[in-house]
Structure 1
Amino acid sequence: MQIFFFSLIVFVSKFGVITPSNQYCSQHLASFAGSFEQCKPNDFCLASDADRVHIKLFSTKTAYQTEKSHDESKLRDFHVEDCTPSKVWLLIRHGTRLPTASGIERFGEMEKLRDRIVENMEKLQKPALCPDDLNMLKNWKWNDSITVNQANYLVEQGYKELSAIAHNYKQYLPNLFQRPYDVNHFHFRHTNTERTRSSFRAFVNELFGESAYKQIYAETPPNRPDLLLKAYANCPLWRDQKKKLKRTDSEVRKFEQSSTFQKLIADVNSRFGFNGTLEAKEIKDIYGMCRYESAWHTDQTSVWCSLLTLSQVHIFEYQEDLNYFYKSSHGSELNKNVKCFAMQDMLNRLSIDDGPAATVYFSHSAAVQLFLTSLGALKDDIDLKAENFAQMASIRKWKTSQISPFAANIGIVRYKCSSNDKVKFLLNEKVLQFDWCTPNGVCDWRDFKQKYAFFANEDCDRVFCRR
């Protein structure tokens, strides 16, 4: 991992440092309920942008620190009057990672795409980019030390994210986390991947000291299917559902054929002097490179982001949300029970008086999204559809940039109280509100058990992969 981290550090020098100093044009946050007016592309210069609003719109490739507030008042979210935290159950997505093998291969070819775009722009009478952005694009290079054998590996920023989350939980719940390691007090487990294993290491090293992971017991994923942390990967119906999202009749594909999305493709072609020859998949790669580089280096912004307007980034985000809504959320009846084993584990571990007080699991974005679905959280009154982008753009609850960025985490805390015990739900270190709890997120323990009695009493082998 040290060699790999070094390669990412080298990448910074190739990527270039951006020093923001100005703002987006005044109308860039116009209401989506209207006509989707956007800034004129040439009114914006990424190299001197101070707002960087778009970096919060990258769906599951959003950097964690861009989403989470670091306000010290967050400590109040973990406080319950006359109560003491007694148990915590945490499900954490791995931190920022490299792309898949196919993504690395595509991104490795983007210097060719860059050359085509630059060549076209130099023929235009009116520049499509400000001079600073154009120069950054001309000087951009892919870091060829990133190879397919490193696909999905955690990067240095991902390690920092998990360390920060561990640090924060020590402040939020000191009686549970500010203590020496004891196998009877802490329970850890991760999936059998490099990115979750490294995330676990970052987390426990922050809790217990550098290289502590070598002495920390993490439950080994079983040789049989991992139904606790990756039940979805072992559900044929869920895998089929995922494949169907690529069909022409899926909401995702219908959105790609909509006038909104097709106008995006045409506008990017027109802006850079292409006569429709810049393909949709190439424009998607521009968005992909923009969000990966922005997540890898949160103090910088990828020059590829300068090729897309803020309105266009909103459109790409909605496309991603549509995909995950049907793949892992309330868009399918199948999804609510896929995380039955994890729900049952959470209920059991919070209910018993003995056993570990802190349970921490490291998994993936699908696990986080499906678990939220099982909780009944963030359910919109209206389903996301290809045709209701304008209606749902600014009001939808299912917004994956906020729900499941890199290092997304769900914390459920039980509190021992002078009267009735309480529970709090936290999503990305913020209160997750339910209508059966108080306005500040305090839920009654008895209501909690009643609300999720189905999962406590059900045979998960029977229901986890049934509609």
Structure 2
Amino acid sequence: MRTEGAVILLVFSIHYADLLYCFWNTGCPYKYLSTETPYNSVRGDIRDSIVKLKGCEPVSLWGIYRHGKQLPSSHISKSMKEAVAIRNYVVTSYEKGFSSLCAQDVENLRNWEFNDSFFDGKQDITEEGRKEMAGLGRRLKEAFPALLNDLQKGSYTFRSARGSWVEKSIKYFVKGLGNKKLNIEDSKAETDVMDPYTTCESYQENVQKNPNISVEADAFLKHSDYLATKDKIQRRSGIDYTLSDKNITALYDLCRYTWSAVDGKASPWCALFTKDDLQVLEYIQDLKHYYSNGYGTPVNKVFGRVPLGDLVQSFEKVKQGGGKKITAYVTHATMLDQIYTALGLFKDSNPLTGANMDRERKWRTSKISVFSANLVAVLNRCEKEGSEDYNVVFYLNEEPIRSICEEGVCSWLEFETKLRPFINTTIDFCEPRSEPY
């Protein structure tokens, strides 16, 4: 009898513990949603974090940006749209007493409004994405007013990769600068410094379209951490049919894509997951991007060197009395990941694998590859004891990066030593292709 009582008490405790977690009033919901993390959830503020050096003034900015928050692609939106029907089963299971979701979480999910245009697969940025990009331009101008208040023709470069959502992103970034006379260059059909991988046939075939790239992510789907998460989601929802891996992914995407950081509104779909669940699903995405864009595939660092070579040349021209006050490229998460890899940033001592979930890993797409993620370099000209010198400060998502150079400030010698070799980067292994994929 004592044993039976202990079992009943244990079961009751587990069920009661589930009930204690209510997403709607958790206060600090887990906001790291891999590459679909809203920029406002993780960004700094360049106006507050700008590194001010005595005797120095900024003379040039070079930045590469991921596009703003976009609508889900046709493939993803199709799965998400099909998964919306699961909401009815969740509500019904709650009404029958089979779900451990909180009443308010169920009510919020029931009241969530379906927007058919959101799921039409149109390649476009969302209203939040427009605000993200405009905010970037506005804060940059406020941080560097002397440099950006009076941009004349020839003193700037604004260009994006191809794609309507990317091209709209650069337009809103420029709009945020507050100068209606600024011109945006047309996207290039041929190979461009901001996305050289898109016109590389061998890369597309051997990496982007290679199913073996997802081997480690697929292996993790058999790991006990993922299987336990899948079981918890099943029990938490209380629905009477078995959720597939495809269902879990689609529900996770509903949570990610319908979260609004601009309005401060977390998605009611996220109530289906606990913090631990979201961390496990986040790791799957990290594995995918680690191998498709990052350290898991050696060729990625080669592509990452291409825009960094452009950065060096851009600043060298300014040192020589020419160059641009600002260069801004808008591209994709793939390019940002490849640049991090080329710089040796966020590199773990051991490769990420599906056999073990490293909770202390450095490679976190939720912090480095979010919507509107950006890497900005600032060239400063300094006057010291009557002589002129230069240094460079890097910012990631509007916060200084201290790992590239000591204390986050690169002397010109350090900067040139680290990055100048990238000017000679070649991608001759790519077969010529005039149109990007």
State the match for 2:4 in structure 1.
Answer: none
For the residues of structure 2 that align with 1:50 and 1:99, how far apart are their CA atoms? 28
Query: Quick check: 1:161 aligned with 2:126?
Result: no
1:398 aligns to what SS in structure 2? coil
Equivalences for residues 51-66 of structure 1 within 5 A: 51-52=28-29, 54-55=30-31, 57-66=32-41
Q: Give a deviation string over 1:230-285, Cα, whole Å, max 9, x none.
A: 212222343222333x4497111111111111111122122333466111111111
Q: Give a deviation string over 1:215-242, Cα, whole Å, max 9, x none.
A: 4322222333x33222122223432223
Judged with a 3 Å threshold, the aligned counterparts in structure 2 of structure 1 residues 299 and 230 are, in CA distance, closer, same or farther, namely same
Deviation at 1:146, TM superposition (A): 2.7
Q: Which amino acid aligns with 2:117?
A: S
Query: Quick check: 1:192 aligned with 2:170?
Result: no
State the match for 1:139 in structure 2.
Answer: 111
Aligned partners of 2:291 and 2:297 also within 8 Å: yes
Query: Quick check: 1:50 aligned with 2:19?
Result: no
Aligned partners of 2:380 and 2:391 also within 8 Å: yes
Query: Quick check: 1:421 aligned with 2:390?
Result: yes
Unaligned runs of 5+ in 1: 1-36
Deviation at 1:314, TM superposition (A): 0.4
Aligned partners of 1:91 and 1:360 also within 8 Å: yes
State the match for 2:313 in structure 1.
Answer: 348
Query: Quick check: 1:234 aligned with 2:199?
Result: yes
Judged with a 3 Å threshold, the aligned counterparts in structure 2 of structure 1 residues 438 and 248 are, in CA distance, closer, same or farther, namely closer
2:380 aligns to what SS in structure 1? strand
Select the structure of larger CA radius of gyration: 2
State the match for 1:3 in structure 2.
Answer: none
Aligned partners of 2:294 and 2:338 also within 8 Å: yes
Query: Quick check: 1:40 aligned with 2:17?
Result: yes
Query: Quick check: 1:457 aligned with 2:424?
Result: yes
Q: Give a deviation string over 1:393-448, Cα, whole Å, max 9, x none.
A: 1x22111111011111110111111253111111101111225x222x01111111
If the length of structure 2 is used for normalisation, what is the TM-score? 0.87
Out of 148, 151, 161, which is 1:177 matched to? 148
1:264 aligns to what SS in structure 2? helix
Aligned partners of 2:380 and 2:390 also within 8 Å: yes
Aligned partners of 2:213 and 2:291 also within 8 Å: no
1:443 aligns to what SS in structure 2? strand
State the match for 1:68 in structure 2.
Answer: 43
Aligned partners of 1:155 and 1:296 also within 8 Å: no
Aligned partners of 1:248 and 1:254 also within 8 Å: no
For the residues of structure 2 that align with 1:299 and 1:264, how far apart are their CA atoms? 27
Query: Quick check: 1:208 aligned with 2:181?
Result: no
Q: Which amino acid aligns with 2:92?
A: E
Deviation at 1:323, TM superposition (A): 0.9
Please, which moves more after superposition, 286-295 or 303-312?
286-295
If the length of structure 1 is used for normalisation, what is the TM-score? 0.82
Deviation at 1:352, TM superposition (A): 0.9
State the match for 2:402 in structure 1.
Answer: 433
Aligned partners of 1:45 and 1:130 also within 8 Å: yes
State the match for 2:186 in structure 1.
Answer: 220
Out of 308, 323, 330, which is 1:362 matched to? 330
Please, which moves more after superposition, 297-306 or 85-94?
297-306
For the residues of structure 1 that align with 2:112 and 2:154, how far apart are their CA atoms? 51
State the match for 2:281 in structure 1.
Answer: 316
State the match for 2:209 in structure 1.
Answer: 243
For the residues of structure 2 that align with 1:328 and 1:248, how far apart are their CA atoms? 10
Q: Which amino acid aligns with 1:94?
A: H
Q: Which amino acid aligns with 1:385?
A: T
For the residues of structure 2 that align with 1:282 and 1:132, how far apart are their CA atoms? 23
Runs of 4+ aligned residues of structure 1 deviating over 6 Å after TM superposition are none
For the residues of structure 2 that align with 1:276 and 1:360, how far apart are their CA atoms? 50
2:168 aligns to what SS in structure 1? helix
Deviation at 1:118, TM superposition (A): 2.2
State the match for 2:52 in structure 1.
Answer: 79
State the match for 2:259 in structure 1.
Answer: 294
1:452 aligns to what SS in structure 2? helix
2:355 aligns to what SS in structure 1? helix
1:426 aligns to what SS in structure 2? strand
For the residues of structure 2 that align with 1:357 and 1:189, how far apart are their CA atoms? 15
Deviation at 1:160, TM superposition (A): 0.9
Deviation at 1:124, TM superposition (A): 3.2
Q: Give a deviation string over 1:86-117, Cα, whole Å, max 9, x none.
A: 11111011111110012222333333111122
State the match for 2:7 in structure 1.
Answer: none
Please, which moves more after superposition, 267-276 or 314-323?
267-276
Equivalences for residues 105-120 of structure 1 within 5 A: 105-120=78-93
1:339 aligns to what SS in structure 2? helix
Would you say how many aligned residue pairs link Structure 1 and Structure 2?
A: 410
Aligned partners of 2:89 and 2:239 also within 8 Å: no
State the match for 2:11 in structure 1.
Answer: none
Judged with a 3 Å threshold, the aligned counterparts in structure 2 of structure 1 residues 332 and 236 are, in CA distance, closer, same or farther, namely same
For the residues of structure 2 that align with 1:68 and 1:205, how far apart are their CA atoms? 20
